[in-house]
A and B are shown apart, each in its own frame.
Chain A
């Protein structure tokens, strides 16, 4: 079964990281991604540019409006995602708990709807 792991963390905190800290985080993500590729959980995943680059789009009665910024202003921001294959929710939770941002932010685990 497929799950999307949405990674929420504080952009402000990340912006304050030193080059060294940033490098360490990248290395951690690299190692994590390698590990879940090996275990067969990995389907895909990407980091996102910060919310300062976000555009929110709405279409109402054919009229499209765009606004600057993310859909919801929250304390922690969506910063990336992994798409994983897991046996069940327990399996997915175990994978999500190992995402580095789980220690500082939060991971939202959502099952993919089967159409």
Chain B
């Protein structure tokens, strides 16, 4: 076989351009160049078995993950599978309620109708006993004092507002416990 020719040829000229069409004369108004075509789709969502158990636990102010049958790691929120071995998780394990900040950022441009007033702290919180972190916001502390390793507790809605929803936890706030060394949080985000 002859030596491979590895020359990269330049793109043919005019590749990215589109010729202008010849158009019968149209009125004087600005021609249409964009259209707005919103799309809306409605679903009836089922969370599945594992997430259902998790949501029911939240209604009782419990954060429940599920343990990997092979390593014992507790995944929360659970999806019914251990992602490292692809086997079903069936053993429910309560974690937290307290946790440790494993990562955070300060949000200056909020998005979505439910975003808290900016700036606010968006964080990953490793619940005690869990292998992976939960997402939450951190309030009741000046932003400059938030740090990785900080100990926090969840703040729940009033008892008569509890439902099968992750929004039962409105935010997390610091508790008076010594920080956890960041090296101990490796692999748990």
The answer to whether A and B come from one shared complex is no
Partner-A contacts on B (CB < 8 A):
none
